[in-house]
């Protein structure tokens, strides 16, 4: 029974904390996606500043989704194709740029003693 209790406790901890980042565990540096889950949790709580601090791509994706959804709804309602933005490739390249700049900046700050990905307050 101890093994079952251990597995249950591990599952509860993992659901609460999330899986540890293997890149961070092996190198001590952040991976390009580090902070994404915490950013989403902060966004869902309405804290845009912390969401941006954890990972700016989450806010960018939410904004792009909202704009694309609005354009799609206008397209369907008005039946006018000019409401379709059609900039998917541009949005993807901007997102890749955000990931790259965020990754470099956060690791630069970490190497200089500033941790921009605190666990608190969205990791309880």
Predicted confidence pLDDT, tens digits, the chain (124 residues) = 577 777 777 666 555 555 667 888 888 899 999 888 888 888 988 999 999 999 999 999 999 999 888 888 888 888 887 767 777 788 899 999 999 999 999 999 999 999 888 776 545 5
Q: Does some domain include residue 68?
A: yes
94 lies in a domain? yes
Provide the 3-class DSSP secondary structure of residue 122: coil
Whether residue 117 is contained in a domain is answered as: no
- Report the number of distinct structural domains present in the chain: 1
Q: Angle at CA 113, nearest 5°, toward 109 and 117? A: 60
**Distance (Å, whole) CA 58 – CA 75:** 25
Domain span holding position 66? 2-111
Residue 119 in 3-state DSSP? coil
Q: Report the predicted TM-score, pTM, of the whole model to 2 decimal places.
A: 0.74
116: in domain: no
Q: What is the pLDDT of residue 68?
A: 85
State residue 111's pLDDT score: 93
Q: What is the pLDDT of residue 108?
A: 96
pLDDT the model gives residue 57:
96
Report yes or no on 122 lying in a domain: no
**121 falls within a domain:** no
Asked if residue 120 belongs to a domain, the reply is no
- pLDDT for 11: 62
119 inside domain? no
**Which value, in Å, is the radius of gyration of the alpha carbons in the chain?**
19
């Amino acid at each position: 029974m101890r093994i079952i209790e251990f597995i249950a406790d591990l599952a509860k901890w993992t659901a609460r904390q999330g899986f540890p980042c293997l890149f961070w565990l092996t190198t001590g540096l952040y991976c390009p996606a580090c902070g994404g889950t915490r950013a989403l949790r902060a966004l869902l709580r309405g804290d845009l500043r912390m969401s941006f601090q954890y990972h700016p791509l989450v806010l960018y994706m939410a904004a792009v989704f909202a704009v694309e959804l609005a354009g799609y709804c206008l397209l369907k309602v008005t039946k006018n194709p000019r409401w379709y933005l059609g900039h998917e490739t541009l949005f993807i390249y901007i997102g890749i740029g955000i990931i790259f700049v965020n990754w470099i900046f956060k690791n630069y700050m970490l190497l200089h003693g500033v941790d921009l990905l605190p666990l608190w307050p969205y990791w309880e």
